[in-house]
């Protein structure tokens, strides 16, 4: 009887070990599906992630080939294609309820701005436009981030940004469609702690974009005030 119990306990132990191994091997796939689901739940847009990698021994997160699609009201067309998001974070800061990144590498391959048959533009209708009167020091954004995550954002030591292509798609009149190559590669911004630290990057993207964004600016607005629509 004791031998029989011992054998079953041994089998259960082996089964438990196998399940733990399977869990860790499947963890990245599980997290990938959860992230796709959360994007859908929070934005109403479908998402696909080619690869998700959570570092178990090192504090790193890598997302590759992320694609986000517009909702049906915009024809389900592509919205964002992001070849890579790579993050390296400070574990000690996390323990102190702070979010501190030592490195963020963000590669925006393509952004598609879509105007549907009803005359609505996706970046405005799905709430992704920056508020018209953002706080200069980013205080309001930090407060909102802390409210949602219960973490205090303390900054990014090095932000590496690449931007590829911008597209404008008019579903009602395709003659208005246009494509703009930006081709910003590995632009590094050190010590990012507030939106104001991204001013130089915004200026560079605007410069490389030519007059792409002028179609979205209110012609009654003046000079820099008009650019607040995006920056």
User: How confident is the model at residue 180, as a pLDDT?
Assistant: 93
Low-confidence ranges of the chain (pLDDT < 70): 1-26, 127-141, 144, 217-231
* 111 vs 164: CA distance, rounded Å: 8
Residue among 206, 190, 109, 100 at smallest CA distance from 154: 100
Round the average pLDDT of the chain to a whole number and report it: 79
State the distance between the two ends of the chain, measured CA to CA, in whole angstroms: 74
C-alpha distances in Å from residue 43, one per residue of 68, 74, 82:
10, 13, 17
User: How confident is the model at residue 222, as a pLDDT?
Assistant: 44
175: its two tokens: 């003659």
User: How confident is the model at residue 159, as a pLDDT?
Assistant: 92
User: How confident is the model at residue 210, as a pLDDT?
Assistant: 86
User: How confident is the model at residue 35, as a pLDDT?
Assistant: 86
User: How confident is the model at residue 103, as a pLDDT?
Assistant: 95
User: How confident is the model at residue 224, as a pLDDT?
Assistant: 41
User: How confident is the model at residue 41, as a pLDDT?
Assistant: 83
Residue among 66, 219, 116 at smallest CA distance from 211: 219
């Amino acid at each position: 009887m004791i031998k029989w119990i011992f054998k079953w306990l041994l089998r259960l132990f082996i089964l438990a070990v196998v399940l733990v191994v399977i869990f860790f091997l499947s963890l990245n796939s599980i997290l990938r599906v959860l992230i796709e689901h959360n994007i859908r739940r929070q934005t109403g847009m479908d998402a696909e992630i080619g690869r998700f990698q959570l570092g178990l021994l090192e504090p790193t997160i890598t997302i590759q080939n992320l694609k986000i699609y517009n909702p049906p009201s915009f024809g389900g067309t592509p919205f964002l294609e992001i070849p890579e998001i790579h993050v390296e974070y400070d574990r000690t800061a996390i323990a102190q309820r702070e979010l501190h990144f030592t490195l963020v590498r963000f590669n925006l391959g393509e952004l598609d701005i879509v105007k549907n048959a009803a005359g609505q533009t996706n970046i405005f209708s799905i709430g992704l436009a920056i508020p018209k009167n953002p706080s200069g020091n980013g205080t309001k954004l930090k407060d909102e981030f802390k409210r949602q995550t219960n973490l205090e954002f303390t900054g990014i030591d090095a932000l590496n940004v690449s931007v590829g292509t911008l597209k404008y798609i008019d579903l009602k009149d395709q003659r208005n469609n246009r494509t703009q190559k930006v081709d910003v590669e590995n632009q590094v911004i050190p010590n990012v702690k507030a939106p104001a630290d991204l001013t130089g990057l915004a200026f560079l993207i605007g410069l490389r974009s030519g007059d792409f964004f002028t179609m979205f600016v209110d012609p009654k607005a003046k000079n820099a005030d008009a650019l607040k629509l995006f920056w």
